[in-house]
């Protein structure tokens, strides 16, 4: 089969960033990217589309304009991996060989896990900022609702941008508050997990907004079924003893977030860990068993928050360690699990959560933007005015702003 020095699977946030970081370090590298999509989406912008702040158009660009001209682009999906033979199979059946493989195909939204959801998504008041194209419908629904009940669900972890289910809720509540109708709306958050946010330091600031908006918090309450025409959602509540009980709740608006898993070609491969995610070393981002396989982005089984912000820190680490592998040098760059979640608690203010493995706080922005665990206007300015540009023209171009890798050992 045809062969490239480096084959990158996926041309999303992670795939393009790592290609750019590699090229920046070594212009002579022979790079290929396998990516089937014609459009590249800036998914972190979808929260602001759902909140009526961004137009959807600014979150999408033709893949042809994002794909660097120094890579060979295969507009195909990978359908199978063969790490022992150092090759991958494309959707047209062809094989492509590599010296080093980088896996960055993101994750899969498992809509089918919630009975009836897929059939009603985008109608009957059922929406999700997680589904490409639907954030606009979220904003339509939020504007239309003046009384009734609004439900926001969060599935079991891990999911990408774990704060996004509640970001949608806070921005909606803030709109209803400004319209003077919040008091007429019963807002409920149903979280399959047991805590509001996985890093305890940020919880008090979020709880203050929960109280301010009068949100009814339900933990260990997992969305299992939706009947769109009847406008009912079924939540499975599990108590401390492990007993579960189903409860049906009627709604006028349902913002649903599906469970998430690794793409099937990863999940079913020998490269997966016990939970189906890519089995990488936490610090080097190299595969635990295949020395010529790296990975980054949402597919990785490392315990960081699955965010584009994590990719910002991961791409230079993979680039540096991959080149060291090609040169038979020791791997020096370390990823410390950085991830970030800009929690849009109201229009104009954000709690900027930045943390690494084990929930250690890892602020990378100056104090006037990230002032510990409180909401700031500067963090909103960063998210709404600066980050899209930094994404398209910084991260995707290999400018490693505030992302110098740590050293191992």
Residues marked active site are found at 161, 341
Q: Are strands 349-355 and 375-376 parallel, antiparallel or unpaired?
A: antiparallel
Judged by CB under 6 A, the residue of 105, 258, 259, 301 near ligand FAD is 105
Under the binding rule (CB under 6 A), the answer on residue 9 touching ligand FAD is yes
Q: How far is the CB of 12 from ligand FAD (least distance, A)?
A: 2
Give which of 333, 299, 300, 298 is closest to 316, Cα–Cα: 333
Under the binding rule (CB under 6 A), the answer on residue 138 touching ligand FAD is no
Judged by CB under 6 A, the residue of 6, 7, 8, 14 near ligand FAD is 14
Under the binding rule (CB under 6 A), the answer on residue 301 touching ligand FAD is no
Q: Give start and end residues of each alpha helix (H) in 214-362.
A: 264-267, 308-326
Under the binding rule (CB under 6 A), the answer on residue 162 touching ligand FAD is no
Judged by CB under 6 A, the residue of 59, 127, 129, 154 near ligand FAD is 129
Judged by CB under 6 A, the residue of 6, 22, 43, 233 near ligand FAD is 43
For residue 159, the tally of other CB atoms under 10 A from its CB is: 24
Which tokens is 328 given?
């038979």
Under the binding rule (CB under 6 A), the answer on residue 104 touching ligand FAD is yes
DSSP state, 244? Answer: E
CA distance 166 to 210: 10
Q: How far is the CB of 83 from ligand FAD (least distance, A)?
A: 15
Region of residue 402 (left: phi > 0; alpha: psi -120 to 50; beta: else) = left
Stretch that binds ligand FAD, among 44-52, 200-208, 230-238, 275-283 (CB under 6 A): 44-52
Stretch that binds ligand FAD, among 117-125, 240-248, 301-309, 393-401 (CB under 6 A): 301-309
Judged by CB under 6 A, the residue of 6, 32, 34, 215 near ligand FAD is 34
Q: Please count the residues of this chain forming the interface with ligand FAD, following the rule CB under 6 A.
A: 36
What residues between 341 and 360 interact with ligand FAD by CB under 6 A?
Answer: 342
Under the binding rule (CB under 6 A), the answer on residue 206 touching ligand FAD is no
Burial category of 194 from C-beta neighbours within 10 Å (exposed 0-12, middle 13-18, buried 19 and up): exposed
Under the binding rule (CB under 6 A), the answer on residue 164 touching ligand FAD is yes
CA distance 234 to 252: 14
Bridge partner residues of 86 (DSSP) = none
Under the binding rule (CB under 6 A), the answer on residue 311 touching ligand FAD is yes
Give which of 9, 30, 17 is closest to 309, Cα–Cα: 17
104 or 322: whose CB is closer to ligand FAD?
104
- Which residues make Cβ contacts (< 8 Å) with residue 128, sequence separation at least 6? 121, 134, 138, 255, 256, 257, 258
Stretch that binds ligand FAD, among 100-108, 144-152, 209-217, 350-358 (CB under 6 A): 100-108
Q: How crowded is the C-beta side of 302, counted as CA atoms within 13 Å?
A: 30
Stretch that binds ligand FAD, among 31-39, 143-151, 202-210, 213-221 (CB under 6 A): 31-39
CA distance 222 to 200: 21
Under the binding rule (CB under 6 A), the answer on residue 304 touching ligand FAD is no
CA distances to 99, 270, 293 from 84, in Å: 12, 10, 11
List contacts with ligand FAD (CB under 6 A): 9-15, 34-37, 43-44, 46-47, 77-78, 104-106, 129-130, 160-161, 164, 263, 265, 297-298, 306-309, 311, 340, 342
């Amino acid at each position: 089969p045809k062969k490239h020095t480096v084959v990158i699977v996926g041309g999303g946030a992670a795939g393009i960033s790592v290609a750019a970081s590699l090229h920046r370090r070594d212009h002579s590298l022979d790079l290929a990217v396998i990516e089937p999509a014609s459009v590249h989406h800036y998914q972190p912008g979808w929260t602001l589309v759902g909140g009526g702040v961004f137009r959807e158009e600014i979150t999408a660009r033709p893949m042809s304009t994002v794909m660097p001209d120094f890579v060979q682009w295969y507009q195909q999906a990978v359908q199978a991996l063969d790490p022992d033979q150092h090759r991958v199979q494309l959707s047209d059946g062809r094989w492509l060989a590599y010296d080093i493989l980088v896996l960055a195909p993101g994750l899969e939204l498992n809509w089918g896990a919630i009975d009836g959801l897929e059939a009603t998504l985008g109608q009957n008041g059922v929406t999700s900022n997680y589904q490409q194209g639907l954030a606009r419908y979220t904003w339509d629904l939020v504007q239309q609702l003046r009384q009734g009940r609004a439900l926001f669900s969060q599935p079991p972890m891990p999911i990408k941008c774990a704060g996004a289910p509640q970001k949608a809720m806070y921005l909606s509540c803030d709109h209803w508050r400004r319209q003077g109708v919040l008091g007429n709306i019963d807002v409920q958050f149903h979280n399959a997990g047991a805590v509001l946010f996985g890093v305890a330091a940020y919880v008090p600031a979020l709880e203050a907004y929960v109280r301010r908006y009068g949100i009814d918090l339900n933990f260990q309450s997992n969305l299992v079924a939706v009947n769109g025409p009847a406008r009912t959602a079924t939540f499975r509540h599990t108590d401390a003893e492990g007993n579960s009980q189903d409860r049906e709740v009627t709604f006028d608006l349902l913002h649903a977030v599906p469970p998430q898993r690794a793409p099937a070609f990863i999940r079913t491969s020998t490269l997966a860990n016990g939970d189906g995610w890519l089995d990488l070393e936490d610090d080097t981002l190299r595969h635990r068993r295949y020395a010529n396989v790296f990975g980054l982005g949402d597919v990785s089984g490392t315990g960081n928050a699955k965010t584009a912000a994590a990719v910002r820190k991961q791409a230079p680490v993979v680039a540096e360690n991959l080149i060291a592998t090609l040169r038979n040098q020791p791997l020096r760059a370390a990823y410390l699990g950085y991830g970030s979640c800009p929690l849009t608690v109201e229009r104009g203010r954000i709690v900027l959560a930045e943390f690494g493995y084990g929930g250690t706080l890892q602020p990378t922005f100056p104090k006037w933007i990230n002032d510990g665990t409180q909401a700031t206007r500067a963090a909103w300015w960063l998210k709404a005015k600066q980050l899209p540009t930094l994404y398209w023209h910084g991260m995707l171009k290999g400018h490693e702003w505030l992302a110098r890798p740590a050293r191992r050992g």
